Structure formats: structure tokens, C-alpha cells
Amino acid sequence: MRKILCLMLVATMVTATTWSEVKVSLQSPALPDVLYGLDVISAKPGHWARVVATREDLEALNEAGIAYDIIISDLSAHYAAQMLGDGPFGNYYTCDEANAILDSLHEAYPDIMTERMILPNDEGDKTWTQHYVWAVKISDNVEVEEDEAEVLYTGLHHAREPITVNIMVEWARWLCENYGSDPLATYLVDNRQIWIIPIINPDGYLYNEENEPDGGGMHRKNMRPVGTFNKGVDLNRNYPYMWGYDNQGSSGDPNSNTYRGPDPGSEPEAQSVMNLCKAHEFVTALNFHSHSNLFLYPWGYMREKCDDSAAFYGWGEIGTRACEYAVIAGHELYPTNGDSDDWMYAEQGIFAVTPEIGEAFWQDWQVDQHIYETRPLLIATAKAADVYPELEGVYFSDGGDDAISPGETVDLVVRVHNMSVKEQSGEIALELFSNDPRVDLVVSTASIPSLAPQTGGANHADPLKIALSSSAQPDSAIPLTLTIRTASDEFVHHILLPVGERLYLIDEDFDDQNTEGWLSNWGLTTQFSHSPDYSITDSPAGSYDNNSTDSLQSPKLDLSDKVTAKLSFWHRFAIEKGFDWGAVQVTSSDIDGWLTLKRFSGEDANQWVQESFDLSEYCGAGDFYVRFALITDEGLTTDGWYVDDVLLTAFKGKASSSGLHELVDVRPALGPRENITAGALNFIGPEGCRVEVAMFDESGRKVAETEGVTPFGWNVSDRLSTGVYFIKTVSADAETTRKVVLVKE
């Protein structure tokens, strides 16, 4: 009875706690000592920090003489008053709702999604209040541990962050419902083993459900029975790596929102996550939190970036283009120790990051938007777990006369980005196919040298070549099939070869000092320019402003009768890295808002750099715009962004294809794995696929042939001499030709 009364007293005291949001001004990059152990939700080092504070926390700030502004005096009441959804928790899923949806998905798609599985901890399988941490797995052979890259997605380390539950559940729904119809979803399910833990902290979440059923619950921690007025342990300070490293990144006070627990890895919920990680070989992981619109990567515990920071940064920039998050190391925000990302990266070799979603803990009117804008990040994370050749653009030469004409031979250069954060791509093979009589594929195969993780490259040194017949009509487009092949997979795209005159829709060097038609609050300058004498910049008078979006928007462009379009420009920039961004964006009546093509941040070493973008997928729009937007937060300001020599060219015509860059199929690669061999050739393709193989020398003479069922091997060392050969592999559904160099030992 005594124990029950004590627990009731603690629960009553927790319920009575009022949480406020305050803003503290910072005079130096380091947080004042009094803030360590408090619940810092966002910060700009050297400028400000926003803190969730109890009455006791405010008293501590007062005693330390720290000035602060109260932004919201009662967060629970504030959030509850703003809820718009009908059910309990508004538009956020309760525990029961999330579980019910996952159960229904398993019933509908049992071949690719498991039923909910209990994740055991070190003492059994239950949490402090006798609940379970559940997970699901999604993959094509879902009951089998395959030799495929594994990816982990987690939600709700902290009980007051309900958007993370919705994102997890809807990610599972998207994968299941689009499998078999969407080539990308199908590829991810077929080639990744995807694990989802929607609710790591069920005890804390259920506590908020019970005490704030209309939403707005501010309890953060689990429900370990410690603390006098703020029960529990911060699960994201309980992981063993650098646990308790200092009292800045976590707290030893049980009443603190960042209480790290009595021992490293003491909490059953953290143990469940760690046990799953130890039992698998996850390559990438997203540990979702809210809020503040951030992509945080290791390290959190010390003020140094990790060895793979470039790969983390590239992954983050690509994955957060839609949501425009800051991409920074965790310590650049504020120090944390004992957190999930540092443990996963240091102890398990997992590329783990924390996305911080949205602008508030509870904003249920934004649920759909948050799900939509984080979908590209979820996809990019699955791609990043292994080699994935992202097609960035195709570029046709024009012979120097600004036209692609009948009877002419043109070069085709393909640019690809290796999405993997860990693996070299290996040589990337390119192959063109067309049965259109208007073209002759003079050089139909080429390659791109191996790409390092999160880097791009092109076949400039080995272009594909296409000869146009005299029957090709100007202002037309010829459909081609481009296959991009890695060691294991083929990515098939439909592209278009334009015929006709290259049109200049934008040709702007700003030297005539006339920006008529451009919508802009930028200004011309002679301080820097790529071509004499002018460029245009966001802040010609000095550093850019805080909390602003300064943009340079093109005149309206008519792409309604165009089949391909390319944008290029030269630029240089000095922009606060990770926090402020220069974004290249496009829009039309077919696009909701501005779509970011790429973001730039940091220093460019005072060099002018050219950027190019293939805009052909937007052809057909009659009201197309491009803009350069400098988007800044509050804090450090620097020189800004300079842009010069902007070109947007296009070819006129009509085409039946649904657009350049259209990914139409992904399939296991067909043909030999090897590009260079001493004689052994190992053929891959769909398992059990019967193929016929013919080998040709450089003169086109057939020198050997065989057949087999993939996978199989063939050794030609005893019959052929050193040289270059072409291997044609034919199945009932596909045909490929690969160049192989035979080097006799």
C-alpha cells in the first residue's frame, strides 16, 4: 500500500507541473552553466536558446541572473487549445490507433510486412508500466534474412513528440500500398530490409494520452519511478556510448528532462533498440524527434565532426530539400551525451541521424504537411543504405552550332550521384537502346568511373554517341531507353533526344544593368563577377539579413511546347553552413509551392563554380519560373550569394513520352559482374533466368557463346587472348551488351 501511495503522489505531482517555453539570450557559443541539464529544444550558439522550463527551472535562471523572455507560459494549455483533429490526440495517432493500422497493413500485405513483433529487453520484454516496444519489418521475402542492406526508422524516444508516430506509420503504409505499382517503392522493398519502431516510449506516450487526452501532453521521459515532480529517464541520454560524459549533454538529476538514468543502458526501451541493432547490420537509421526543423548527425557529445561528416552532410542536403532543414552536427546545436545517434554510429557503425520535425511539439494541423515533406528524407535514407545511382541529368552536344540537326552525330553525357553513405559505387555502366529508325546508336555503351559515397560523376571521357538520320524532323523528339547499371541492379529510364534549334529562354550576364522582368530584392554589383563587369547578389551593401528570404525570380517561361530544358549559372557564396541556405528552386501551376533542386551553404573558397540542372521533366508547363532564394535564420550573417551568367535553354517539340528522367523499371542486372577479368565471368540476373550469351571481339566477330540459368559462371581464359570484348546476354525479357577487358595472368 505504501508503494502505491508513493506512486500516486508522484503521478499527482507530475500532473501538476506547468511547462513554459522561454527564450534565453546567449553571449557566447557555450551555453551558460545553469542551462546544462535543462530541456533546450533549439539554440543558435552565441545568440539564443529556447528552453522548456518548469517553475523550478525559472527560479534557477533567476538566481543565476540569466535574463529570459517567456514565449509561452503554459505549453500544455497552449497546444491543447490549438488542436483541430476530431479524435483523441487530434490528428495524431494514439498507441492503439498506430497499432491497429500496422495490424491492418500486415493483414493486407502479409508477403512484404510482418506482424508486430515484441522487441525484448535485457530483463524480459516489458517496460516499467508493463507495455511492449513493437517493431515491424518490410521486405520482399519478409520472413527471410537476406543479403540486403538493412535500414532502421524509429519514432517517439520522447513522449511529447507525436508527429514521429504518424511519420513511421505512414511510411509503412506508403511502402506497402505502392509496392508493385511504383518502381521506386518496389525497388526499396525488394532490395532493402526495412525495420520500423513507431513508438520507442509507450509508457510516456500512454501517460500523455491518459492525462492530456485532447493533446498537448508535455511529459518527455519514460516512466521509471524516479523524480519528485518529473518522473522518468530521458531515453535519448541513456545509451551507453559516452553516457554521463559530462553534465552539459545530460543530467544526473532525476527531475531533469535530460536525466540520463542510474546506469548506462539501464532502461528497457533503450535496451530493446540496442538489442535489435546488435542482432542486425543496419547501415542507415533515422531516429525521429520534434521539433525545430533540423537534420542532426554525430557527434553530439563533443565539439568535433565525425570522420564521415561529408557523407552525412550530402545525405542530409539531398534528403531535406523539400523541408529545408538545417543540416548540422548535433553539437553545433547543443551538446548531448548518451544519445542514440552517437551510440549507433560509434558502437554499431550505423549512419544514424536525428531529424527534428516541425516548429512545435503539437501542431496537428500540420500533420499531412510534415508527412509529405519528410517522405523524400525517408526515401533518401533507404537509398543511402547501399549503392543507388541517382540520375541527375542527361546532356546532348550540339556540334557548336546551337542545333541538333538531321544527319548529325551527337554525344550524350549522363550525370549520376552515388546515394550510398558507405560504399563506393563501382564502375557504373550505361547502355542506350532505341528501335526508332531515325537514330543509329553509334556508341551504345559507356561507363562512369567508380564514385565515392555521396558524390556525383559523369561519362565525359566516354560519351555515348547517336547518329540522326536525315528523316529526323526539326522540332521533334526521339524516345530512347537509358539503362544505368551497377554491379547488382539495372535502373531503366525513358529519355528524349531533341531535334532542332536550341532556344535561349534566359541569357543573362547582368552587364547591361537591366533586370526587367525579374522579380527581385537582389542588387547588381561589380565587387565580384564571373564575366565582366556585373553579377547580382542578395546583399550588395554588405552582409545579408537575419530571418529573411531574399530572392531573384525569373520572368515567366513558356515550356508548353518544349521537350528538353537545361539551366546553368555561375556562382560563389559565403553562407553560414548548415543554418542558412542558397536554394535553386522552380515552380509552375503544376507544382505546389517552390520545389528545391539543390541547396548551397558554407564557403566556396572564393571560387566561381558552374552549376547545371536538367529541367526537362518540367517541360509542358506554360507558366514556369526559376528563382534563387537566400533563406536565413536568426544568428550569424555573412557576405551572401553572387550569381552570374544565367542560361536556360530548351528545344521545341512534342513527344509521346511522359517525361525525361522517368524511372520505369528497376531489375536485377543481367550479364557478367566483371568489367575486367582474367577469364572468369559470373553472370547475374533475375534468379532462375535462362539466358543465351555471345562474346564478340572489337571487330564484331563472334568468338564464343554459351547459355545458362542465372546465376552461373563461365571461364573463357583457355580460349581467348588478352583484349577488349563485348558480351551480349539475352533473356526472354531483356537484352544487354557489356564491354569486358580480358587480362591474361
Active-site residues: which are they? 356
Q: How far apart are CA 745 and CA 667, in angstroms?
A: 33
Phi, psi angles (nearest 5°) of residue 289: -140, 175
* 8 Å CB contact between 319 and 422: no
Q: How far apart are CA 68 and CA 679, in angstroms?
A: 73
Q: How far apart are CA 485 and CA 446, in angstroms?
A: 10
DSSP 30: S
Q: At 220, list the grid cell.
A: 518527455
Q: What is the dihedral of CA 573, 578, 581, 586, to 10 degrees?
A: 120
* 8 Å CB contact between 235 and 200: yes
Phi, psi angles (nearest 5°) of residue 376: -60, -35
* 8 Å CB contact between 354 and 341: yes
- As to burial, measured by CB atoms within 10 angstroms (0-12 exposed, 13-18 middle, 19+ buried), residue 8 is exposed
Collect all residues with Cβ–Cβ distance below 8 Å to 681 and sequence separation of at least 6.
672, 673, 674, 713, 714, 715, 716, 727, 740
Q: What residues are paired with 691 via a beta bridge?
A: 708
Question: Which amino acid appears at position 502 of this protein?
Answer: R
Output helix, strand, coil percentages for the chain, rounded to the nearest 5.
20, 35, 45
* 8 Å CB contact between 404 and 468: yes
Q: Using alpha carbons, select from 419, 477, 117 the residue that is nearest to residue 272.
A: 117
* 8 Å CB contact between 696 and 705: no
Q: At 428, list the grid cell.
A: 557504373
Q: How far apart are CA 43 and CA 46, in angstroms?
A: 9
Q: How far apart are CA 414 and CA 54, in angstroms?
A: 57
Write the secondary structure of 504-568 as one string of H (helix), E (strand) and C (coil). EEEEECCCCCCCCCCEECCEEECCCCCCCCCEEECCCCCCCCCCCEEEEECCCECCCCEEEEEEE
Q: Using alpha carbons, select from 495, 497, 498 the residue that is nearest to residue 658.
A: 495
Write the secondary structure of 355-368 as one string of H (helix), E (strand) and C (coil). EECCCCCCCHHHHH
* 8 Å CB contact between 669 and 485: yes
Q: What residues are paired with 296 via a beta bridge?
A: 328, 354
* 8 Å CB contact between 294 and 162: no
Q: At 687, list the grid cell.
A: 534468379
Q: Using alpha carbons, select from 443, 457, 468 the residue that is nearest to residue 414.
A: 457
Q: Using alpha carbons, select from 253, 338, 211 the residue that is nearest to residue 57.
A: 253
From residue 405, give the alpha-carbon distance in Å to each of 437, 466, 471, 474, 649: 15, 12, 10, 7, 16
